[in-house]
Amino acid sequence: MPPQTPTVPCQYRTGKTLGSGTYAVVKEAVHIKTGEYYACKVINKKLMEGREHMVRNEIHVLKRVSKGYPNIVTLHDYFETAHNLYLVFDLCTGGELFDRICAKGNYYEADAADLVRTILKAVQYIHDAGIVHRDLKPENLLFRSKAEDSDIMIADFGLSRVMEEEKLRVLTEVCGTPGYMAPEIFLRTGHSKPVDIWAIGVITYFLLCGYTPFDRDTQQQEMQAIIDGDYKFEPAEYWAGVSQTAKDFVVDCLTHDPNQRPTAAQALQNKWLASDEPHFVPDP
Ligand code: ADP
Ligand code: MG
């Protein structure tokens, strides 16, 4: 007998798994009546015991905000069963930015600047709406289509405030990398909008050279490096084709003190993103 196809409360049929993250599984889902494809995120309610009210609140905000901006994955629908929460999003078929960076090795500086500008504008929009993403990283930046010049989309936010403690627990107890987390998160001195700008600094570094700035042998060492702001633009051969303007942008985003770090609007004014002048072009 073929395995039973699980049905998301009546209207959707779920298919293959698209990905899984810290606390959820995301499956392809087809709306039975319309035949439209979506991505359905299934979250176990156990992870939010006692905070269900907060979760529903955030889902409401996410639904409204995500519809208002082109580079944010739209939340279409939302269901609950006794055990799970189901969030139905626009399907992005182009995969994670993470995989594209890995496939390319690194991005050309001009292409990296275009991506970072688009991401920052979307971040500015969510910050203006009073939302902090808290988990920006290349695994949560998805391409809408498989095209080389596909739009990039911000995914995986909205529940971040509710899940923060859970994520820290998972991170410290199980696995995962703190690589994109700002120092104030570990120092527990606050984690508001500036954490997203920090993450954009780490993402930009990764785009330009193909590895992350605080990568260390152990998680403990990695956290310490973040707290100490201990990173370099090395080995030199990976950075030879990168302009000082780009490095200055990374340094600016990785400002240790969150109060001194640029806001999204200020980062967009940075010379690297604001000017139309051609950037350093490496020798052929
Ligand atoms: P988590 O909070 O568990 O990290 P995410 O929302 O980041 O969950 O989803 C986990 C993975 O599922 C993503 O990294 C991505 O690969 C895939 N995914 C998530 N949303 C979509 C989507 N809308 N379209 C296609 N794939 C998606
Ligand atoms: Mg994720």
Give the H/E segment covering residue 18.
strand 12-20
- Residue partners of 199: CB distance under 8 A and separation at least 6: 133, 135, 136, 137, 180, 181, 182
Q: Is 42 in the pocket of ligand 1 (CB under 6 A)?
A: no
Q: Is 140 in the pocket of ligand 1 (CB under 6 A)?
A: yes
Q: Who surrounds ion ligand 2 at CB < 5 A?
A: 21, 140, 156
| DSSP-assigned beta bridge partners for residue 126 | none
Nearest to 165 by CA among 38, 42, 53, 51: 51
97-134 residue pLDDT tens: 999 999 999 899 999 999 999 999 999 999 998 888 88
Nearest CA to ligand 1 atom 3: 21
Q: How far apart are CA 33 and CA 24, in angstroms?
A: 26
**Residue with token string 């570990």:** 186
pLDDT of residue 7 exceeding 60, the answer is no
Backbone angles phi, psi at 78, to 5 degrees: -155, 130
Cα dihedral value 165, 171, 172, 176, nearest 10: -170
Does ipTM surpass 0.90 in this model?
yes
Residue 34 identity (one-letter amino acid): T
29-84 residue pLDDT tens: 999 999 999 999 998 888 777 777 777 877 887 888 899 999 999 999 988 888 88
pLDDT of residue 2 exceeding 60, the answer is no
The CA 105 to ligand 1 mean position distance, Å, reads 22
Check if the beta carbon of residue 136 is closer than 8 Å to that of residue 73: no
Catalytic residue, candidates 135, 156, 196, 252: 135
The CA 154 to ligand 1 mean position distance, Å, reads 10
Check if the beta carbon of residue 145 is closer than 8 Å to that of residue 202: no
pTM of the model: 0.89
